[in-house]
Structure 1
């Protein structure tokens, strides 16, 4: 079975998109995304995105990390899908419905409302998610927020100085986080401007993480060190995040289609 794909990226966070909205695909095996994502023996990507019909929205977006795990949300992929779809849409995701629309050079996405309750992150036990009494090496007192998927955010004087590749895996898999966690390390770069590095659960260090930018901007606004809108600078570039207390998160940034091709389904299933 020959299957068409679209290779896309948002600030260097890259995706293989399979559009199954009109022509259904076989059930996705547990190792399928992992094999397809391999950069030596597969097509290569950070995430596999599968678009399917939805009973409640215009269509459904499923998201698989490069380790094969299926996750709830991906901000960069949402912008890529908006560019691909070409018009405003309401999209079903594992983290809830989002709305997206293409814009010049990219897209704007309403990511929904953040959640701050400890059991909505989720954490293993109750604590104040605005000032968590925990730490790992040089990182401590983080904030936690769920923006469709779970994030923990550390604010430091110099995010660039943190060896996130070394400490990220331990935080991601700590028993405190029963569904694992995305790890964000940020510092203030200017007025309403943050520098951010992200260790993404199931994918590792990434050039950009849209939900991480959303979570970090929300945490900074909640902490009182930034006001909306916030510019978040990641290794791959900038995202603009707008959020007011009690409202939904609006993320705006670029997306790009890289190329299209086909592959043989049985080679990866």
Structure 2
């Protein structure tokens, strides 16, 4: 039996198992173990698992796994949570630059508010029924009415596995505009294969898509998710969205130890 020490963090209800793996002791190729740790009945329970590792040039490296145990694409709320985790470990103070699967990310932290710089977005595809873009993870965005009663699970799953995404899949965001630059967002996340309380790369994609679709002319947006409100702000220059920041709370829930057979 092995004992794993972990921390649990959440950002607007998107929850993550955080593990300090600077000593490289975690069995990161064991997808079954990661999936079990994320299982809400038989494990700790989380939307994903994040390893904090050393970096050659930056403050640290973020390795993100989906709840199904497979390594995932960039996770915005996870990125904000790992910044708070790094501060708790005294690796950083108020500013950081770290490595992630989609490249370098800068961030700043003030108490429990983390502002995370996301990748530039150079292409937003517009269709009759939706928009599609990549903010470190792929996102399908559809504007709907009556979002509170909308069947996110069924519709999200159909789009996630359907044409043109198929097995590789996409995250699916349903959006209802509330005022000039406030939007209510519900997201079906691939890898979790369910609706989550919040998705950081998702709300980032929604803010950019809303601007591209002329729903707002503001370069910041407030995104209301089931887990709380996030803000996204950016510069728009020459059809490029840059200096894109995702801002919101990231907080520690608890720390613990779990026995594993692996």
Considering fraction of residues, name the structure with more strand: 2
Distance 1:15 1:218 in 2: 25
Whether 1:230 and 2:221 are equivalent positions in the alignment is: yes
Q: Which residue of 2 aligns with 1:89?
A: 96
The answer to whether the Cα contact below 8 Å between 1:100 and 1:109 also exists between their aligned partners in 2 is: yes
Q: Which residue of 1 aligns with 2:209?
A: 219
TM-score by length of 1: 0.87
Say which SS state the counterpart of residue 209 (structure 2) adopts.
helix
Q: Which residue of 2 aligns with 1:5?
A: 6
2:126 corresponds, among 130, 135, 146, to 130
1:192 corresponds, among 181, 184, 198, to 181
Change (3 A) 1:72 1:57: farther
Which aligned pairs between 1:52-91 and structure 2 lie closer than 5 A?
Answer: 52-86=53-87, 87=93, 88-91=95-98
Deviates more, 1:75-84 or 1:154-163: 154-163
Query: Which structure 2 segments of 5+ residues have no match?
Result: 88-92
Alpha-carbon offset, residue 106 of structure 1:
2.2
TM-score by length of 2: 0.89
Question: 1:158-194: CA deviations, max 9, x gaps?
Answer: 3223201111112111241252100000011112100
Q: Which residue of 1 aligns with 2:157?
A: 169
Distance 2:59 2:176 in 1: 38
Q: Which residue of 1 aligns with 2:134?
A: 146
2:148 corresponds, among 147, 151, 160, to 160
Q: Which residue of 2 aligns with 1:120?
A: none
The answer to whether the Cα contact below 8 Å between 1:115 and 1:146 also exists between their aligned partners in 2 is: no
Alpha-carbon offset, residue 255 of structure 1:
1.0
Q: Which residue of 2 aligns with 1:244?
A: 235
Distance 2:36 2:26 in 1: 17
Say which SS state the counterpart of residue 249 (structure 1) adopts.
strand
Say which SS state the counterpart of residue 70 (structure 1) adopts.
coil
Alpha-carbon offset, residue 91 of structure 1:
1.6
Query: Which structure 1 segments of 5+ residues have no match?
Result: 118-128, 134-140
- How many residue pairs get matched? 248
The answer to whether the Cα contact below 8 Å between 1:115 and 1:147 also exists between their aligned partners in 2 is: no
Q: Which residue of 1 aligns with 2:90?
A: none
Alpha-carbon offset, residue 22 of structure 1:
3.9
Change (3 A) 1:151 1:172: same
* Runs of 4+ off more than 6 Å: none
Whether 1:48 and 2:36 are equivalent positions in the alignment is: no
Distance 1:115 1:202 in 2: 25
Question: 1:27-71: CA deviations, max 9, x gaps?
Answer: 431212211111111011111111112234321111111112211
